[in-house]
Amino acid sequence: MPIAPSMRQPGDEGVEAASLTASNALLGSGSRPGKRPRPSGGAPQQQQQEQQPPQGGTSMLLRSAQKRLMAAEAAARTNSGVGSSQQLDRTDSCGGSADAGLTTAAAAAVAAVDAAEAGAQQPPEAQQSWQQAQAQQSQRHAAAAGAAAAPAAAASRPQQPPPKRRRISRAGVPAPLPSYELRTFDRPSPPFRDDDENGHYRFEIGENLAPRFKIMRKLGEGTFGQVMECWDRKRRDYVAVKVIRNIQKYRDAAMIELEALHTLAANDPAQAQHCVRLLEWFDYRGHVCMVFERLGASLYDFLRRNAYRPFPLAMAQSFARQLLQSVAFMHELQLVHTDLKPENILVLNNEISKDPPPSAKVGKRLPASSAIRVIDFGSATFNSDYHSTIVSTRHYRAPEVILGLGWSFPCDIWSVGCILVELLSGDALFQTHENLEHLAMMEAVLGPIPPQLAASAVEGVRDLFRRNRLNWPDGAESKKSLKAVQRLKKVKDYLRQHCEDAVRPHLDCIADLIRQMLDYRASERITAAEALRHPFFALQL
């Protein structure tokens, strides 16, 4: 979750000041400023003292991080009943799963894991029914993703097998920077301070984060920690440092994120798959610190600065192609991102185009280059690992997640479909904060939810249906909610209403791709590899 802030504030014509919007998105919390604020994904603040992690306990964390999180989530689900629609609504971002009921359960679960590691019998965890339910579709998506980058060759000549992708095991994550690497610069360390009541690192602008890194500014704060822009005295360059809260469950989550980041880097040494690059990491005064390359603004930042006017079609096509290439690469590695959204797609730098395309309206500010990086792997999950109940920021959440049917690779494709609509229209497609309204919006755009899916929904969500049909409009909470749903149209009509004139000749092609990405049935949803072969990406724009 690096940050690469855009440096421009609303009303400021410069591009050299940090963007809090991008950095907050990287941290999985905060709402969008301006036209359409989004529900916060941050977890409630922890009010009670939590156990401090052992210093230098990296090897132990690598072995037990996943077990701790699995046990904590299983205990929380058992004790708090996550099947209810109220529980499903408590988290609108993957960065903030239902922490309000997690503290006590997590503490008990972590204690059980510790006892098991000491030789005691660990209590059985809940069976993961999603593994069986998603096995067939996972194989299909993984197989298709494996062919994403394989070029078509003449049948008369032999094919070279593609390089084998590999997951970096937790034990294979490189060690943190040794302390002497941080102390080799003749700069004082800041005075030792206690962390704040929520485990966040206390600091002052201008002091050092270890002698090597000088803190230039704070760029954001969220569920997992803080992001700072720092001057790296060794690299002689600015970097983004994410400082994780000094609380054990967040340290454990950070180790899982490091596994995903190192797996991506090991399989993409040339950084050709558009994923952000982790430079290094270290453990400082109980805080896991991740050092990332500094990038530019997010795609959401550009939409906001341009008053939510859409990107030119050629630029949106380029963004979508790179995003799908990145997703196909992740899926080939059996990794599901789970939190794709415009805030988590950054351009490489903050250069602004001096010659905007003819289709751009007067005053629209566009990036000079359409090259992007996908960021924020804090919630990325390997398909064989434990899957939490709720993932994805609300606006980009797939129906199978809302209905409690289990999720896998297709949930990323749903998010990409929502993102493509937003790039072409300027507005998020599903602007909502609760399940019934969200499902009603889906039906307004995509037609009725298949009865088979409604019948399979988990208890609590099933109450939103009557005889396997959505209880709408009878179940609407307000007239405002009714109007929000009534404003939506079918995909093609929605794009015709909101997109630029240059898009209209290609509406049939674009709408076809989006409909395949937004198929209710996860097993039938187009894969990233298949989407890259869609005629939309053959258009010469």
**What confidence tens digit (pLDDT) does each residue in 485-538 have?**
999 999 999 999 999 999 999 999 999 999 999 999 999 999 999 999 999 999
Structure tokens given for 436? 């019934």
Residue 77 falls in which region: left (phi positive, over 0), alpha (psi -120 to 50) or beta: alpha
Cβ atoms of 413 and 363 closer than 8 Å: no
Judging by DSSP bridges, how do beta strands 381-382 and 465-466 pair with one another? unpaired
What is the distance between the alpha carbons of residues 2 and 219, in angstroms, rounded to a whole number?
11
Percent of the chain whose predicted confidence (pLDDT) is above 70: 65
Residue 143 confidence (pLDDT): 55
Q: What is the pLDDT of residue 176?
A: 79
The model's confidence at residue 202, banded by pLDDT at 50, 70 and 90, is confident
Q: Tell me, what's the pLDDT at 494?
A: 95
Other C-beta atoms within 10 Å of 273: how many? 21
Mean pLDDT of 17-40: 47
Higher pLDDT, 197 or 456: 456
Q: According to the model, what pLDDT value does residue 366 have?
A: 94
Instruction: Please give the tally of structural domains in the chain.
Output: 1
Q: Which of 264, 195, 150, 139 is nearest to 523 (CA)?
A: 139
Q: Measuring CA to CA, which residue among 363, 362, 326, 329 is closest to residue 345?
A: 326
Across residues 453-457, what is the average pLDDT?
96
What band does 186 get if pLDDT is binned at 50, 70 and 90?
low
Whether the per-residue pLDDT at 219 is higher than 80: the answer is: yes
Residue whose C-alpha is closest to residue 202's, from 190, 220, 185: 190
Which domain does 371 fall in, by range? Answer: 296-538
Give which of 443, 460, 297, 301 is closest to 390, Cα–Cα: 460
Residue 119, in any domain of the structure? no
The tens digit of pLDDT for each residue in 112-163 reads 444 444 444 444 443 444 444 455 555 555 555 554 444 433 333 344 445 5
What integer pLDDT is reported at residue 101 of this predicted model? 38
**Among residues 339, 376, 412, 519, which one is catalytic?**
339
Cα–Cα distance for residue pair 532/536, rounded to 1 Å: 8
Q: What per-residue confidence (pLDDT) applies to 127?
A: 41
- Please check whether residue 344 lies inside any domain of the structure: yes
Is 99 a member of any domain? no
Mean pLDDT of the chain: 77
pTM over 0.85: no
Beta strands 372-374 and 287-293 are unpaired
Q: What is the pLDDT of residue 39?
A: 43
pLDDT for position 445: 98
Cβ contacts of 310 within 8 Å, gap of 6 or more: 303, 316, 423, 424, 425, 426, 498, 499, 500, 503
Rounded to an integer, what distance in angstroms lies between the CA atom of residue 480 and that of residue 511? Answer: 28
Q: What is the pLDDT of residues 458-480, one digit of tens each?
A: 999 999 999 999 999 999 999 99
Q: What's the pLDDT score for residue 360?
A: 53
pLDDT recorded at residue 121: 41
Q: Write the single-letter amino acid at 282.
A: F
The confidence score (pLDDT) of residue 68 equals 54
User: Omega before 473 cis (within 30°)?
Assistant: yes
DSSP category for residue 321? H
Residue 19 within any structural domain of the chain? no
Residue 272, domain member (yes or no): no
Confidence (pLDDT) at 80: 43
Does any domain span residue 243?
no
Q: Residue 306: which CATH number?
A: 1.10.510.10
pLDDT value at 193 more than 90: no
Among residues 420, 327, 457, 336, the alpha carbon closest in space to that of 385 is found at: 336
Q: Which residues are annotated as a binding site for ATP?
A: 242
Is 355 part of the annotated catalytic residue set? no
154 part of a folded domain: no
Does 1 score more than 50 pLDDT? no
Instruction: Say how far apart CA 280 and CA 385 lie, in whole Å.
Output: 24
For 57-80, what is each residue's pLDDT tens digit? 444 444 455 555 555 555 544 444
Does residue 286 lie in a domain region? no
Q: Tell me, what's the pLDDT at 45? A: 37
Tokens coding 328: 């196909």
